Structure 1
């Protein structure tokens, strides 16, 4: 029997109405694939099933629309505001393990599955051949030996910062298409862009014994002063990135480099359960309402190589599902092949001959990849069910004032406060939950200061998916740092706000125009999430 959800309770009581290889040329150019032109236009003709919430009866649909509408009353907390992840919210005392708790509404059997997935998420892979059963296949070139190595305590990655350890951050490598085959792959969403011909889709700074790592990431910072209208001065740091100690020759002249820190893992299953209609409804690619915000839906091929679907995960919304996101990370970050990305040599290219010739960890009795379906299913279930911690201090007067400043400054134009997830999901724990991610999951142009110049699928070099804000106030508690944005350049939440540009310029300027007391209140609100 399905347990009642928070959304059910509200409705009851409410009074008022890759970088992947090209697979094969046959797949890329198959006549069964839909022409890209049908999906490439800004005015995408979405199927009716994706534009309407068919999981709801008309009466419930109207009530859900009212529930999800941003509030205008900041005198008190909203109902269920503490429960950021609905019934799945973790109510355990926040500590270093705050992001590692399971969805609170899992069954006993599902808890066991979660724990098995956790063990695999933390598993340290070793190079082949190994006497360790089903744990070999690492690399041969790689960035990390386990999922947990990047997603520290299931939280946010960080720049090296006075250390050579860049495990939770790496350089993404990409270039534009150069051949008809490559153009067809991108147009048909079979690849988000093209990898460097020698170094592949990301620079890998580690290698198994006997091989040379590809190189290392180099970061330099330049001070960039910012003065608030009230005269307060702060110093931002503007980063630049390059690759050094390249062991296999130079990067291609047109290869771009873009840093990535690992995203926190909480609430991913709930984000996956948001109905497509709610994401499409918030998109305004041509800014028809004239508010300067033109969010676009990300597109991805999906796991079945059928029609493009909505991209939800990754810094540029390049993956449609948690399974895809995890599969790409297994192959690209650790060098472990899996059913969706069956590359036994990980991100190695044809130019890296020794890497391709190294032994792999496939064991035929378990499957034809190093991490077969049972492994990926457990890791995916774990990733889907890392709970969002409960909100804190929601009734504090300063937090409520900060919430009002966040809303009236226009931040909610992209950081959509709440959704009610679909009734039809693959996991009942995620179904019909009132959630508070503070993200519209759309792509937005964030301006030249944050641009990396790297096209990823339909995302331009200056577009990024709106990062969910739930749990952001526990970053230091969980991860031991307060570095934010895709490259960790922001050393605190205020710096992260001040780096916003493009579509977020007006909101940034509205924040800057507040007096210090209200700016502090807004930061206090963010820290309560």
Structure 2
């Protein structure tokens, strides 16, 4: 299918094709006057006595009502035309579908594994929310897994600052802790925590938990001695299509890799190969910006998490390696005459991508509360907006109305930042170093307990509340973190109240 491409120049890269979806699109360029108006609308506020115009609608017209239950993240975009709603519901059915191993009588649902982390998308993203770290030996890590890699001597990627790594030779790119009948699971993630006390102004002590990761019960022999482990908790799913629709030029304009303005913030764009388009593109998704589009991210999850083949990853054995002979000789669900010869065919991947792109962002709560407004002012004053950019305006998209020309409030700059040694996983991913992470969006973060039933945050769920998440910030965010430590208790409470309103 033809696509209309958005063209951008990424650092020293040649001009690369960039798209916002898999449907035929028509992007309306901004006029000079329109760009000037957008710059005014997205400029940081200096008035904290009242909410800003449209602040209660973090996704613009796509914002949905904040349901008072666990379904708050499972609604379609508030401005979705009726004609598109069936595709969303079909995508939801595939997202919540439970896959089974081959051979099976359920030919429309077979092909799982042979090695895998989950049997369905919603196993990890329950209610489209955030996963959690295991809470004990009996709590299997269905919504959390370990990335695996080893250093590589050279890189085939023609991307500036690319750090060459390779999958672990025996176990592949991630540890799969489940296996189909007759197969052996790769192993089990093991976590130990060390207490790390932090004393706040006024004498209050907060005890952080510093995690350490290892692998037990290895099913295929030892890991390579140079293996790097990095944990990943499934992130929330809301607003992905709107993040995909932010103009790349707007994101690149915020990059300051050499900290030329001297503010201590030096964000860098992640540039990654897109499986969808076969070219380097701006990395928007994943904790280190490892995926360029929602479709790229969805296909990678089908392959790596569930061992299912898609048009972008046609291998029917997912992350299995040549050393895992039982895996690569096991039955699979690919049939030449059905589903395009794939386990997840083109139409199914389209529907899941559409669903993921259109999960609605709930409206804000209590935005006029005095404590929330004071907390917002502290968020700005402490410099948190140096990475968590409050506002963006998306592209005009003639055939994608849900994401077209919306003023959105995701609180992210979509860039990589050095977050210090405390949060470092010491595992590079593409251009991202072992200390860098992409700024996560904050919209919906206050609804995590309601949707997900817990209050764990950060890439590995180590933070058990929002204050702990803030106290783990270091590197480029060290000054802001130290500012929070020095606040009077009532001011810290207001800051957290503001975050809970997002």
The TM-score range, normalised by the shorter chain, is over 0.9
Residue 137 (structure 2) pairs with residue 169 (structure 1): no
Match of 1:126 in 2: 100
Q: Does 405-414 or 359-368 show the bigger shift?
A: 359-368
C-alpha spacing 1:338/1:88, structure 2 compared with 1 (3 Å): same
Residue 350 (structure 2) pairs with residue 377 (structure 1): yes
Query: Unaligned regions of 5+ residues in structure 2, if any?
Result: 1-8, 19-26
Aligned counterpart for 2:462 among listed residues 469, 473, 489: 489
Aligned counterpart for 1:223 among listed residues 195, 218, 224: 195
C-alpha spacing 1:112/1:54, structure 2 compared with 1 (3 Å): closer
Question: Any idea what SS the aligned residue of 1:82 has?
Answer: coil
Deviation at 1:256, TM superposition (A): 0.4
Query: Unaligned regions of 5+ residues in structure 1, if any?
Result: 1-37
Match of 1:501 in 2: 474
Whether the 8 Å contact between 2:162 and 2:430 is mirrored in structure 1 is no
Residue 175 (structure 2) pairs with residue 203 (structure 1): yes
Question: Any idea what SS the aligned residue of 1:238 has?
Answer: strand
Deviation at 1:133, TM superposition (A): 2.6
Deviation at 1:403, TM superposition (A): 0.4
Match of 1:302 in 2: 274
Deviation at 1:94, TM superposition (A): 3.0
Residue 53 (structure 2) pairs with residue 79 (structure 1): yes
> Distance in 1 between the 2:55 and 2:363 partners?
9
Whether the 8 Å contact between 2:302 and 2:309 is mirrored in structure 1 is yes
User: After TM superposition, what 4+ stretches of structure 1 lie above 6 angstroms from structure 2?
Assistant: 188-192
Match of 1:267 in 2: 239
> Distance in 1 between the 2:120 and 2:387 partners?
33
C-alpha spacing 1:272/1:305, structure 2 compared with 1 (3 Å): closer
Question: Any idea what SS the aligned residue of 2:194 has?
Answer: strand
Deviation at 1:190, TM superposition (A): 11
Give TM-score, length-normalised by structure 2: 0.93
Question: Any idea what SS the aligned residue of 1:103 has?
Answer: coil
> Distance in 1 between the 2:428 and 2:265 partners?
20
Alignment of 1:310-321 (within 5 A): 310-321=282-293
- RMSD (Å), alpha carbons: 1.9
> Distance in 1 between the 2:180 and 2:140 partners?
17
Residue 115 (structure 2) pairs with residue 141 (structure 1): yes
Deviation at 1:232, TM superposition (A): 1.4
Alignment of 1:319-334 (within 5 A): 319-334=291-306
Whether the 8 Å contact between 2:362 and 2:444 is mirrored in structure 1 is yes
> Distance in 2 between the 1:172 and 1:227 partners?
33
> Distance in 2 between the 1:514 and 1:136 partners?
55
> Distance in 1 between the 2:356 and 2:481 partners?
33
Residue 425 (structure 2) pairs with residue 452 (structure 1): yes
Deviation at 1:426, TM superposition (A): 5.8
Aligned counterpart for 1:346 among listed residues 318, 324, 327: 318
> Distance in 2 between the 1:296 and 1:290 partners?
15
Match of 1:67 in 2: 41
Residue 47 (structure 2) pairs with residue 56 (structure 1): no
Deviation at 1:427, TM superposition (A): 1.6
> Distance in 2 between the 1:94 and 1:237 partners?
31
Question: Any idea what SS the aligned residue of 1:482 has?
Answer: coil
> Distance in 2 between the 1:505 and 1:232 partners?
19
Deviations 1:475-506, CA, capped at 9 Å, x for gaps:
00000000000000000000000000000001
Whether the 8 Å contact between 2:194 and 2:211 is mirrored in structure 1 is yes
Aligned counterpart for 2:133 among listed residues 159, 165, 169: 159
